[in-house]
Structure 1
C-alpha cells in the first residue's frame, strides 16, 4: 500500500478537521490565473479526500470530502470543459496554479482501515486532468489522466505518477521528518558498516556489465519508430522523426543507468541508517561472526532490500516520466494531439 503510514497520519488529521466543522468544500482556494489547470478528483471509496501541498502549505489544504456517512458529497466544481466518463461516481473539481510543482495527497478512511497515496504534479497551463482513487482488495489504486479533445471526442491519456516529495518542507511536520544524525565515524565503525553492506548486495542489484550493441540498439529504435508511424498515419516532417529517435535513444541510455544509480543510492542510505547505531549493535549485524544476531541481521537486510526495490522502481518511473515529457513537448510542437488521439500528453 503506497505511503501507508504517511497516509494514515495525514488522513486521520484531515478527517478530524472536516468532521469538526470545516467547510464541506475544504480549505484549498482555487487558483485564479486565467490559464489555471483544472483537476477532477473521482473516488467511490469511503471518506475520500484530496489535499494540495506545496512549500508554503506543508500541512496541506483540503478540497472537500467524498462518500462520507455524515457529510453530503461536495458539489465543488471548476467548470471543466470535458465531462466525467460517468456522473454516477462522486467527484469534485479544483483549479491548480500552472507550472508550479505540487504534492497531491489522496486519502480514504473506511471502517477499520486507512489508505493513502501521494504524487507530484506540475500542472500545465490550461490543461485538464482526472485522478481516480479506488480500492482493489487491500490496495489503493490511483490513476492520473490528461484530458484532451480530438475531433470532438474526449481522450484520456495516462500520466505517470511520481512522488518527489517536498524538500522545502523537511522538518515541518511528521510527514516530512528530518533524518536523525549519525554517530561520529571511526575506522572501526566504517569497517563494520562495509562488512554489513557488501554481502547484502545480491545479483538483482548489480548493474549490467555488457553494453547493448549499437547496431542492435539502432535496429530496436527503428522498429519502434516504424510501428509508431503505422499507428499514427500522419504526414510529419523528417525533423519530427529525427527527434523522436533521439528521444528514444536518450531514454534507453537513462534506463540503462538506473540500476547503477539505484545501487549507489542504496549504499548511501544503508550507511546513513547504520551510522545511527552504536558500535556493539553494528557488530551484531555483521554476518558469520560469534556476535551475529541472525534474526536482527536478516530483518535489517530485508528492510533494505525492500528499500532498494522501491528506489529502483522509482528511478525507472522517473526515466519514463522524463521521456514522456520530452515526447509530449515534441507532439505539442508539431500539433500531433489535434490529429491523433494517442499522442503523448504531459
Structure 2
C-alpha cells in the first residue's frame, strides 16, 4: 500500500478504534450510576457464566439500566468496585460492585447468553441502609441458579447469610413494558362467583398434591432432643444462667419446631389465597365452564384451566421457601431478643444475633 494512501486511511482507522474503545467502556460500566446516598447499600454481582449481566430497575427507570457485562471473550471484565468490607469469593470468575439506594424497592434482572441458549431471572430487593449484599449467578446444565446473601463482618470474620429471593415485581412500573405487565382487574364478588371460585380452589392441582402430606408434621425436637440441645448450649456458654433463661430457650425451640412442622399448610394457604385472587379476574361464564356447571363443557379438559393450575405449582414451592425463611428469621429474632434481655452477648461472642 502506498504511504500516502496509508496515511489518508489513518483518521478512519482511529475513528473505528476510538468507537470500539467507547463501546468497551460502556459495556464495562453500563448506564447505571451508583447511588450517592451516604448510607447507600452495596451489592456485588458474581457470575461464573459467560456474558452475564445484572440490570437495574426502579420506579423512575422502568426500562432498566445496565451495569456492564462479565466474562465476555472480547471485553475485559468490569472493574466496578465500591469498597465492600467483605472480600469477593476467592474463586470468583468475574464480579462487579454497585451502590443501591437504601430503603427503596428495586428490581434486578440477571441474564446470560451461552451460544444459542439464554437464561435469566429477576427479583425484587429493598436494600437496608448501609447493608452489603452478594448475588451469585451460575448455570448448572440447563438451569440458572441465583443465590442472594447478606454480607457482614462479625468479630473480625466474614459472615454470609443466605436471603430468600423474592421474584416480585414493581407496582410503579405496571403497564410500562412487557417486563412489568398490568395485573388483571378483579371483578366484583358475588355469592355465585365466590362459590365457583371455592369449588375450583378446593380441587386444584396444589390441593391434590399436598392432600397426603399436609398433616405429616413430624416433631423434630422430642423432649430428649431438647435436653441435648440445651446441654450443648450450656457447655458452649461456660457460665451459669438463671433457670428462667433456659425455660425461655426451651420454649423458643418448641415454637420453632411447631412452626417448621406447619410450614406446608401455611404455604398451601398462601397458594390458595393467590389462586383465589387470580380467579377473581375471570368472568362468570368462564368460571361456570371450569367448575363444570356449564353442560357444554368438560370441567377437567379446559386447557386454559390446566395451564392456570400448573402455573400455581412454582408459586406453591416458592411459598414453601418463603415460609421456611420467615420461620427461621422469626426464630433468630426471638433468640436474639432473649440473649439481649439476659445480656449474654457481652460475655459470649457467639451469642444469638439477628
The two structures have a TM-score, normalised by structure 1, of 0.71
Q: Look up the SS of the partner of 1:63 in the other structure.
A: coil
1:309 aligns with 2:317: yes
Q: Partners in 1 of 2:318 and 2:276 — Cα distance?
A: 17
Q: Partners in 1 of 2:225 and 2:287 — Cα distance?
A: 48
1:140 aligned partner: 144
Shift of 1:91: 1.0
1:270 aligned partner: 275
> Aligned in 2, Cα 1:307/1:37: closer, same or farther, shift over 3 Å?
closer
Shift of 1:77: 0.9
The two structures have a TM-score, normalised by structure 2, of 0.69
1:72 aligns with 2:76: yes
1:165 aligns with 2:168: yes
Q: Partners in 2 of 1:243 and 1:59 — Cα distance?
A: 50
> Aligned in 2, Cα 1:131/1:26: closer, same or farther, shift over 3 Å?
same
Higher-RCO chain (CA-CA 8 Å, sequence separation at least 6): 1
Contact conserved, 1:284 with 1:291, CA < 8 A, in 2?
Answer: yes
Residue of structure 1 aligned with 2:111, choices 107, 116, 127: 107
Contact conserved, 2:71 with 2:93, CA < 8 A, in 1?
Answer: no
Residue of structure 1 aligned with 2:67, choices 54, 63, 68: 63
Residue deviations 1:275-321 (CA, integer Å, cap 9, x gap): 44444433442359763153325444433344333333333333334
Residue of structure 2 aligned with 1:180, choices 177, 180, 184: 184
> Aligned in 2, Cα 1:317/1:92: closer, same or farther, shift over 3 Å?
same
Structure 2 unmatched runs, 5+: 1-21
Shift of 1:245: 4.9
> Aligned in 2, Cα 1:99/1:234: closer, same or farther, shift over 3 Å?
farther
Larger Rg: 2
1:93 aligned partner: 97
Q: Partners in 1 of 2:245 and 2:60 — Cα distance?
A: 40
Residue of structure 1 aligned with 2:287, choices 271, 282, 288: 282
Q: Partners in 2 of 1:234 and 1:94 — Cα distance?
A: 43
Q: Partners in 1 of 2:215 and 2:331 — Cα distance?
A: 24
Shift of 1:258: 3.8
> Aligned in 2, Cα 1:84/1:300: closer, same or farther, shift over 3 Å?
closer
Shift of 1:251: 3.8
1:8 aligned partner: none
Q: Look up the SS of the partner of 2:310 in the other structure.
A: helix
